[in-house]
């Protein structure tokens, strides 16, 4: 039996029209996405899957609760495609899987426009080398950003590890493995609990012990800035940040951050008014 061409099938097109989708849309609207046109067009889908990357406006990119990126119902990677060739040396950019400190910095200085998005699986990306008036397009294997791995604690990555251990994790990482743990499609992520059985979004009674254990394991170093807070009088400035909900206290959902980096997390700007934030700023 031959399947119909769903892009041209009139019944399928009428069904999409009745759902309020454009005829060339390849994904349903994402309920958490506030934009009116949150579905991929054919051209966007082709660009995402071709390996060439897709230029987008930063406002079209959503940061999910776990810190990863989403575009129109798909989890995506970001990287700088167009790089300069200085005297034969090509800077190889890192690709990013979450809103790490580097990404936040680029957003803050208005340079996030340099990034394109991709759903590349094998870690080989299209790079355009610029040397004077010459433009050379090539495929190149890139490495993942270490700050992103630290933020997700992927494979136990953390700044407290030695350089050799960190390098081993970076080189064994691939987008395919990332998408296995953080699925590319978001449409299956629907609530599975109700108001009657949902856990209370609060810290567990033993959170102090969890925090102490994680900070000790991290060597009292901040995952983002790498500053040392091991001195007894400085330990109060090192926190444990929840990537998700407060009752999710496995290592995958937690990060060790100093109060300064903690305050930079989405929705945590209020921490900059805390006395400890001001005290740390004055001590530096």
Percentage of residues in the chain with pLDDT exceeding 70? Answer: 71
User: pLDDT confidence of 46, banded at 50, 70, 90?
Assistant: low
Q: How far apart are alpha carbons 32 and 263 in whole angstroms?
A: 24
| Residue 107, token pair as written in the block | 């957003």
Contacts of 218 (CB under 8 A, 6+ apart): 158, 159, 160, 256
User: pLDDT confidence of 87, banded at 50, 70, 90?
Assistant: low
User: pLDDT confidence of 9, banded at 50, 70, 90?
Assistant: low
Q: For residue 164, how many C-alpha atoms fall within 13 Å in the half-sphere facing its CB?
A: 0
Q: Which helix (H) or strand (E) holds 241?
A: strand 238-242
User: pLDDT confidence of 115, banded at 50, 70, 90?
Assistant: confident
Average pLDDT over residues 73-92: 76
| Residue 6, token pair as written in the block | 């769903």
Q: How far apart are alpha carbons 177 and 172 in whole angstroms?
A: 9
Spacing of C-alpha 167 from chain mean position: 20
More reliable by pLDDT, 233 or 91: 233
| Residue 126, token pair as written in the block | 């299209």
DSSP symbol at 39: S
Q: How far apart are alpha carbons 163 and 101 in whole angstroms?
A: 19
| Residue 166, token pair as written in the block | 């960190």
């Amino acid at each position: 039996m031959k399947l119909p061409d769903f892009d041209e099938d009139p019944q399928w097109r009428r069904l999409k029209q009745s759902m309020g989708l454009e005829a060339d849309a390849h994904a349903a609207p994402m309920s958490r996405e506030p934009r009116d046109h949150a579905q991929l067009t054919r051209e966007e889908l082709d660009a995402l899957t071709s390996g060439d990357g897709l230029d987008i406006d930063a406002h079209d990119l959503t940061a999910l609760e776990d810190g990863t990126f989403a575009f129109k119902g798909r989890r995506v990677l970001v990287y700088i495609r167009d790089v300069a060739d200085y005297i034969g040396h090509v800077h190889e950019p890192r690709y990013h899987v979450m809103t790490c400190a580097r990404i936040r910095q680029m957003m803050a200085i208005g340079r996030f426009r340099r990034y394109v998005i991709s759903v590349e699986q094998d870690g080989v990306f299209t790079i355009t080398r610029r040397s004077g008036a010459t433009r050379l397009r090539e495929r190149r294997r890139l490495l993942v950003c270490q700050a992103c791995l630290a933020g997700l604690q992927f494979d136990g990555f953390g700044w407290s590890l030695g350089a050799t251990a960190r390098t081993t994790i970076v080189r064994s990482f691939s987008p395919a493995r990332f998408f296995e743990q953080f699925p590319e499609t978001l449409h299956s992520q629907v609530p599975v609990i109700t108001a009657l059985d949902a856990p209370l979004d609060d810290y567990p009674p033993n959170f102090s012990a969890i925090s102490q254990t994680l900070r000790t394991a991290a060597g009292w170093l901040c995952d983002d800035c790498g500053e040392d807070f091991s001195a007894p009088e400085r330990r109060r400035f090192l926190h444990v940040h929840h990537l998700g909900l407060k009752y999710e206290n496995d290592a995958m959902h937690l990060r060790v951050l100093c109060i300064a980096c903690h305050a930079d997390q989405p929705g945590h700007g209020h921490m900059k008014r805390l006395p400890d934030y001001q005290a740390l700023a004055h001590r530096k």
